[in-house]
């Protein structure tokens, strides 16, 4: 049954994804099922989207109710759940206003446009350059791709959008040196995700903020992956006790439906006036109602705090249980945004604990749901050299590595 879906995909869907030979058809909480009925524990979480797990009752109920009332209407009109979501997001963050779109990439494109437009409105049209970090990831459309300082994503798509300067992450002298009279903003992930779960020094972002203030430029935080509880705070910037000028959001905001947002202070958001930017589906009634349910659930169940506690427990458990493996170099992360460095050609992808090694990988990235079992590590597997055996009666997770792979 999986095979027929896979064949349909190969025949009719653009081949832009390297897909596993699994056709998932159902999800509930942290579990998913394929077409044949086989059950999996989902440690991919829709690439950091499903913070509440799959088909959370509050989100499902909100979608059903709104779908029977009003699904879409143009932003030429006022939209009640959109306004309510904007009010909620501003009450929980530094921001004064929100622009809604459909993805993290779109949110970052919006931030790039806003930063340039802001200085244009200040009579400084020459300030268009944005500084971004090596190993960053901001999206795949041309503007966001140009901001992404990873050459592997650029191959075949040049010339890129001009006006971006790349510097090392967590390197304040490099940032200071890179700023010129053309600089309008620094765009940074407060914790790099796709680039390797790279955590900055405690003082780095604070000093970066001071540097921006000294030079009168904007600080933009890409919180597309870190937002909504994953790091142990609702937003990662709270961990560093600083406030950016602009913040981009998406992924977990919608609980599985497509929504993005750019949040900013009144000072910068005043540059977005009618005609400067738009998104046809941005902030439509269906997705904003779903997003309200997501945020309410995170608040009511204290899931940010839960992520901090479980993250500490998982990192400790992984470190203890993986320490016998000389190939494991490091386990690091904040909250439930966790990664591990391995020194081997065998990839250890976390679908349960490890997926079989495919070769060529050196990084593990867990995008776990926030509603994880209380002790997901304990008793999940036993290790015998390169062989890992799953326990079938415990809450843990594991995998099997074929040493000849």
Catalytic residues: 137, 222, 251
CB 209 within 8 A of CB 242: yes
With contact defined as beta carbons under 8 Å apart, do 211 and 281 qualify?
A: no
Q: Which of 402, 295, 299, 316 is nearest to 358 (CA)?
A: 402
**Which of 200, 152, 196, 191 minimizes the C-alpha distance to 363?**
196
Non-local CB neighbours of 176 within 8 Å, separated by 6+ positions = 211
Q: Tokens representing 271?
A: 């540059």
Question: Is 283 within 8 Å of 100 (Cβ atoms)?
Answer: yes
Q: Alpha-carbon distance 275 to 266, whole Å?
A: 18
Count of CA atoms in the C-beta half-sphere (13 A) of 348: 28
- The alpha carbon of residue 131 and the mean position of all alpha carbons in its chain are separated, in whole angstroms, by 20
Helix then strand then coil, in percent of the chain rounded to 5, is: 35, 20, 45
């Amino acid at each position: 049954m999986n095979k027929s879906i896979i064949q349909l995909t190969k025949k009719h869907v653009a081949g832009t994804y390297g897909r596993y030979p699994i056709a998932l058809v159902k999800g509930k909480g942290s579990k998913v099922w394929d077409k044949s009925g086989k059950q999996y524990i989902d440690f991919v979480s829709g690439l950091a989207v499903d913070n509440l797990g799959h088909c959370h009752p509050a989100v499902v109920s909100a979608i059903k109710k709104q779908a029977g009332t009003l699904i879409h209407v143009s932003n030429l009109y006022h939209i009640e759940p959109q306004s309510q979501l904007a009010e909620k997001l501003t009450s929980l963050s530094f921001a004064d206003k929100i622009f809604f779109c459909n993805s993290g990439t779109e949110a970052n494109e919006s931030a790039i446009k806003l930063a340039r437009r802001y200085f244009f409105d200040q009579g400084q049209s020459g300030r268009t350059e944005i500084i971004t970090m090596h190993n960053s990831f901001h999206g795949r459309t041309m503007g966001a791709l140009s901001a992404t300082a990873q050459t592997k994503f650029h191959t075949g798509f040049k010339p890129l959008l001009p006006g971006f300067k790349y510097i090392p992450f967590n390197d304040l002298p490099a940032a200071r040196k890179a700023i010129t009279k053309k600089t309008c903003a620094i765009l940074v992930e407060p914790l790099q995700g796709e680039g390797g779960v790279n955590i900055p020094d405690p003082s780095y972002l604070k000093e970066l903020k001071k540097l921006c203030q000294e030079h009168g430029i904007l600080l933009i935080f890409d919180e597309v992956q870190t937002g909504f509880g994953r790091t142990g705070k609702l937003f990662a910037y709270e961990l560093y006790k600083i406030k950016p000028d602009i913040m981009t959001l998406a992924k977990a905001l919608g609980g599985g439906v497509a929504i993005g947002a750019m949040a900013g202070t009144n000072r910068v958001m005043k540059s977005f006036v009618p005609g400067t930017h738009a998104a046809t589906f941005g902030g439509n009634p269906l997705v904003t109602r779903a997003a309200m349910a997501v945020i309410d659930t995170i608040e009511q169940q204290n899931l940010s705090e839960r992520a901090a506690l479980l993250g500490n427990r998982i990192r400790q458990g992984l470190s203890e249980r993986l320490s016998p493996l000389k190939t494991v170099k490091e386990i690091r992360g904040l909250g439930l945004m966790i990664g591990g460095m391995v020194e081997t050609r065998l990839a250890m992808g976390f679908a349960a604990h490890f997926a079989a090694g495919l070769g060529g990988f050196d990084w593990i990235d867990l995008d776990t749901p926030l509603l994880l079992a209380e002790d997901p590590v304990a008793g999940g597997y036993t290790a015998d050299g390169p062989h890992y055996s799953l326990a079938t009666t415990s809450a843990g997770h594991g995998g099997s590595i074929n040493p000849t792979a």
